[in-house]
Structure 1
Amino acid sequence: MIYVLAALLPPLGLLLNGQPFSAVFNLVLIVLCVIFGLIFPVLLLVPSAHALIVVHMKREDRRHREVVEAIRQHGPPPGYPR
């Protein structure tokens, strides 16, 4: 659901994902892309792409931290060379 929100309303999706600085940067990016998007229409997709990439990276970072914490608590998986 957060991916759909990030694609349609990028700053709101970033805020709800816990990234206020990225949301502010995305607002600036929207203004610039709207201005220059009149000349190059493909630029209108840049804020949504930025939000989707940032949301994905944050979720991957969370997943990585969970795996590292599980390994710290329970040790490496069986058969893993030390």
Structure 2
Amino acid sequence: MVYILAALLPPLGLLVNGQPISALVNLVIIVPCILLGLIFPLFFLVPSAHAVIAVHMKRSDRRQREIVDAIERNGTPPPGWRP
């Protein structure tokens, strides 16, 4: 769900994911991309791509941190974990 929000409304998707600085950077990226998008339509995708990549990186970092914490607590990986 967050990925869809990040693709359609990039700054809002980043805020929902807990990344306010990335949301501000995305707002700054949107302005020139709208202007350049009138000439090169591919630029319309840049803010959405930035948001989707940032959300993915944050979520994978959280997942990895949870696995490391579980290994440190229990000495074994969490149930259902596959390398």
Name the amino acid aligned to 2:69.
E
User: Matched residues in 2 for 1:13 and 1:70: separation?
Assistant: 28
What is the match of residue 80 of structure 1? Answer: none
Query: Secondary structure of the equivalent of 2:51?
Result: helix
Alignment of structure 1 residues 1-82 onto 2, 5 Å: 1-76=1-76
Query: Secondary structure of the equivalent of 1:18?
Result: coil
User: Matched residues in 2 for 1:32 and 1:76: separation?
Assistant: 49
Structure index of larger Rg: 1
Q: CA deviation at 1:23?
A: 0.2
Identity, % of aligned positions: 69
User: Matched residues in 2 for 1:58 and 1:68: separation?
Assistant: 15
TM-score (norm 1): 0.90
Name the amino acid aligned to 2:2.
I
What is the match of residue 81 of structure 2? Answer: none
- Count of aligned pairs between the two proteins: 77
Stretches of structure 2 that go unaligned for 5 or more consecutive residues are 78-83
4+ long deviations beyond 3 Å: none
TM-score (norm 2): 0.89
